[in-house]
Structure 1
């Protein structure tokens, strides 16, 4: 809504155009984030060429909310002879500007500028009075917008992180309404075998599990601490016999409760197949235990294929050769059973999606 607001501000204070401008204190970078009454081509020329000649670069030294015009910053007669005035301001019919810093940090600042037309004359007391009425509201709106922008960026960062998980992840409210699902979670819902969405609510295929989930969501929503902070795990079974496990994590920490803010999501669900996860980083395992490429290959085959006879057949070598490599694996990893090798590899599994 900034464009409309800037138009109304310009009309109210007696200007012809207005802009909300971002300036990098450490460089010549200037960006008119929002503007009214300025030709887009002129905005581009300002950023690329004329910003370096702009007297309002000195606004970095002006206090927040203080209203200044060109004569407050430079010798106006000399300014009128310069390139900024002759090549950028005059072609647009402007003679003076009323500006005020809205937000300032060590590296940048944001200011509001309202441009005065040549026919209207210089910035006068009445324009300053009206600007003074508007500035506090504009400052507050700009700061709120900044906070919202940061929160949106933060939320997007978390969404991107969740989408990188191999497990399906859901945030739900006290009625099981899905607030957010990551990519893996959306895929599970699309498949509809163990979990599906009905009118936006998460529903388990098994009636008893579905009831248990509903009860747990309601408990957390009502502040019941029975689930604790670690939550619980429930088994899920697809019609084709595939088994899954869903971990329910309550989102009712003491910090959230002390904040006294209503949070929509009351629980996070993590869902994945109940199988040995072998998506490990082989190079990390090899480096950790100083394995040769062949030993690493045999180790992964033990996990994925089975015992010595199966691995020998899969790799096309003699069983005695596999036994030799397995013995070396036991020695290097400090294990004594093939089951221990399987656990070792599982310990290096990644939570990230393929």
Structure 2
């Protein structure tokens, strides 16, 4: 390790590098700390290089003036940048890459680097096994000395950590994207989901369950404790939770539990399913997901997008509207009144729908729509 940085300072950089994975703007504190430690004007991390087809994803220190420069780089100057495609994992200075005289004569230096007072650049490109690429660039101005071997040594010791951090960032992004996709699909199906930890306390609750909680009619959360229905319902619920947690702690197969929740409003009972969430071999203690609760409200209907129903079954807009109303439980007469059409017109639409979908009864049509991918749209 370079003698210009202490073990404590290096540990602080590594801590901020990995800690940045949990930040809203990843690696912001790492770049600011690196800038101070190495005595730079700017520190920049390019997670996705700009191209003719899309803007890049660039994190950088600096104020509004530098942000304006990044915008210019994204829109135009990236195509003129000669300090790209560096040897993988190697730390290189701009002076080593391009002679100073040649650089000063270039349009890139005169129109982009000089106005923002960038004269010295230290950089490294990192490629991960899963195809990600990121570029670290550290800049100094004309009044500063150039980067030396000590500066390069600091960055070289950080490169393996930066590479691992980028890999973890990509994996977390993929997991978060999948999580959001599945959570959105559950919301579209009008199913409430509530996740409990190893103490039976609420960890997460989706939008449908939040709406049910706001109604305060059979389900509510108080101090991270889920309360349902009547006192008798709550006692039964807690027994099922306790039983499910016991199965999980003992690594024994857990059956899926089910129960109904009475509502004081007189609306139809809520239905809930309780099932354990399998833990991995190396799961530790702490607030980890242990139980998933799925809540079904018979009064709440999933709402397939009209355009999707229309496309899936080759229906006209009017036919798609009628099909959606029937799928949500209306009779043909109720649907015709809601759509302000005569019963004869509704019957004509229904005959056409039957012909296009290949079903012969209204119950079959409802099943077809609800079993299709339409509710996920």
Aligned to 1:241: 266
Tell me the matched-pair count. Answer: 341
Q: Which runs of 5+ in 2 are unaligned?
A: 1-25, 336-356
Q: CA RMSD in A?
A: 5.2
**1:6 lines up with 2:22 in the alignment:** no
C-alpha contact (below 8 Å) 1:173/1:264 kept by paired residues: yes
In structure 2, C-alpha distance between the alignment counterparts of 1:194 and 1:5, rounded to whole Å:
47
Offset from partner CA, 1:14-58 (integer Å, 9 cap, x none)? 432221123448758544223347622222222222211111222
Could you tell me which of 34, 37, 40 is aligned with 2:60? 34
C-alpha contact (below 8 Å) 1:204/1:210 kept by paired residues: yes
Partner of 1:119: helix, strand, or coil?
coil
In structure 1, C-alpha distance between the alignment counterparts of 2:66 and 2:359, rounded to whole Å:
74
In structure 2, C-alpha distance between the alignment counterparts of 1:303 and 1:108, rounded to whole Å:
45
Deviation at 1:97, TM superposition (A): 0.8
In structure 1, C-alpha distance between the alignment counterparts of 2:33 and 2:328, rounded to whole Å:
69
Deviation at 1:191, TM superposition (A): 1.6
In structure 1, C-alpha distance between the alignment counterparts of 2:58 and 2:324, rounded to whole Å:
57
Aligned to 1:349: 370
Equivalent runs, 1:60-209 vs 2, <5 Å: 63-104=87-128, 109-209=133-233
**Cα distance 1:91–1:137, how it changes in 2: closer, same or farther (>3 A)?**
same
C-alpha contact (below 8 Å) 1:167/1:353 kept by paired residues: no
Tell me the TM-score normalised to structure 1 length.
0.71
In structure 2, C-alpha distance between the alignment counterparts of 1:46 and 1:120, rounded to whole Å:
23
Offset from partner CA, 1:225-260 (integer Å, 9 cap, x none)? 89956612212222243332423231333x745767
Task: Tell which deviates more after alignment, 109-118 or 138-147.
Answer: 138-147
Partner of 2:105: helix, strand, or coil?
coil
Partner of 1:56: helix, strand, or coil?
coil
**Structure of greater Rg:** 1
C-alpha contact (below 8 Å) 1:249/1:269 kept by paired residues: yes
C-alpha contact (below 8 Å) 2:305/2:375 kept by paired residues: no
Deviation at 1:345, TM superposition (A): 3.7
Deviation at 1:103, TM superposition (A): 4.0
Partner of 1:11: helix, strand, or coil?
helix
C-alpha contact (below 8 Å) 2:28/2:59 kept by paired residues: no
C-alpha contact (below 8 Å) 2:90/2:124 kept by paired residues: yes
Deviation at 1:200, TM superposition (A): 2.5
C-alpha contact (below 8 Å) 1:235/1:243 kept by paired residues: no
C-alpha contact (below 8 Å) 2:93/2:147 kept by paired residues: yes
Offset from partner CA, 1:117-146 (integer Å, 9 cap, x none)? 223343322322232234344444444444
In structure 1, C-alpha distance between the alignment counterparts of 2:109 and 2:190, rounded to whole Å:
59
Partner of 2:47: helix, strand, or coil?
strand
Partner of 1:65: helix, strand, or coil?
coil
In structure 1, C-alpha distance between the alignment counterparts of 2:127 and 2:363, rounded to whole Å:
58
In structure 2, C-alpha distance between the alignment counterparts of 1:114 and 1:301, rounded to whole Å:
60
Offset from partner CA, 1:79-126 (integer Å, 9 cap, x none)? 221011122222233322110123447865211111132233433223
**1:16 lines up with 2:37 in the alignment:** no
C-alpha contact (below 8 Å) 1:12/1:130 kept by paired residues: no
Could you tell me which of 44, 47, 56 is aligned with 2:71? 44
Partner of 2:186: helix, strand, or coil?
helix
Tell me the TM-score normalised to structure 2 length.
0.68
Task: Tell which deviates more after alignment, 123-132 or 24-33.
Answer: 24-33
C-alpha contact (below 8 Å) 1:278/1:346 kept by paired residues: no
C-alpha contact (below 8 Å) 2:193/2:292 kept by paired residues: yes
